[in-house]
Amino acid sequence: MDSKTKPTFSRSTGLPRKKFFRARAHSNPLSDSHFPIPISPSHVDLSLHFPKVSSKKTEFADIGCGFGGLLISLATLFPETLMIGMELRDKVTEYVKELILALRKTSSGGGEYENISVVRTNSMKYVPNYFEKGQLSKMFFLFPDPHFKEKNHRRRVISVDLLDEYAYVLGGGGVVYTITDVEELGEWMRSCLERHPMFEALTQEELDSDPVVELLCNATEEGQKVARNGGQTFKAVSRRIAYVS
């Protein structure tokens, strides 16, 4: 990277510098923004996202991926799985895009980080546009916006109604991972998952044996901030089960 022409990139590591990509934490998810939305999952061009991989489908989705910390950690843990991050803010999406491109270029073994990508979209409305029924095996909701006021509870990304849509795109056995540092939100998410007939909470043994669970706390920027401040985190992890109505 020529740092004279790209001052937003670090000279030493070649990676983009976060301070040039800062954006406000909030973006209204219920408004209709003007970004392109695929007409249907078959219209999603995976070759744009994963140029070196063909004939595979995305299996992991990080909803509200922020600065991409989780995706980076998961990429090396599951090198054969395609994963995509979804983020509403455009500046932050730009950062993650540049980060992934830079990592791919500078990766030592070659061919690393080819399995992650990011897309700018409103995941509350458009998840069915990107993923077919039962396509995903893991979905991540790390430190979502708490929307404290009761009138804004409709905007929370985990709610019993939105869980209908997430259950649709997750196949049977698919897992939803959520974590937050706000106790009330943690309780809300846990109870939504419990109330929903198509989700069943993982047992403690299953949580301990899942390598992804510990990444929830410390892989992302938000998680590291919480750990620095000595805050408590609240996890809720559930598996999608078959439902006979």
Partner 1 sequence: MENRDPIYVWWDIQSCRLPYGYEPLRVHVAVKSAMRNLGFFGPIDYVAVAVKGWSYGDTLYRIETTGFRIKREYAWQSCSMFIRNNISEWMHSHEPPAVAVIISCDKGLGSLVNRLRVEGFKTCIIYVPAFTSDRLISVPNFSLLWSDVLANAPLVDPREYGLPLREVRAEAIYVHPSQKSVAVTVGMDLRVFDLMSCRKDSTNTRVIRYGASGKFFVCASNDGWVNIWSAESWHRLHTMVALAIAIRSNDSHVCYADTRGDVWVVELDGIDECKVSPSNKTARLLFRSSSIVTKLDFSPDGRYILSADGDFKIRVNVFPKKPLEGAHEIQSICLGHKASITCIAFVWNSEVTERFLSGSDDSTVRLWDISSGSLLHTCDISTMAEYIEVNESEPPAQVKVTDMCTIPNSSLAIVAIQRFPGILLLSCTTSISIKKVIHIPGDSFIPTSISLSGSMKLLWMVSRPSNPPVSKHPGVTRVKAMPCIEAELSSILGDDQIPGGTKLLEQLQGKVPTEDCGECSTRSHESGNV
Give me the active site residues, please: 145
Pick out residues in 14-43 that bind partner 1 (CB under 8 A).
30, 39-41
With CB under 8 A, what is the number of residues at the site for partner 1?
23
Of the listed pieces 61-69, 122-130, 173-181, 224-232, which binds partner 1 according to CB under 8 A?
A: 122-130
Cβ 196 to partner 1, closest distance in Å?
A: 6
Considering only 160, 172, 203, 227, the residue that binds partner 1 (CB under 8 A) is 160
* Strand ranges (E), 80-227: 82-87, 116-120, 136-142, 170-180, 199-201
Q: Which residues pair with 180 in a beta bridge?
A: 234
- The yes or no reply on residue 153 touching partner 1 (CB under 8 A) is no
Q: Work out whether 168 is an interface residue with partner 1 (CB under 8 A).
A: yes
d(CA 191, CA 187): 6
Question: Is residue 243 a contact point for partner 1 (CB under 8 A)?
Answer: yes
Contact 155, 145 (CB under 8 A): yes
Under 8 Å between Cβ of 143 and 219: no
d(CA 67, CA 81): 20
Give me the residues that bind partner 1 (CB under 8 A), please: 30, 39-41, 124-126, 128-129, 133, 160-165, 167-168, 196-198, 243, 245
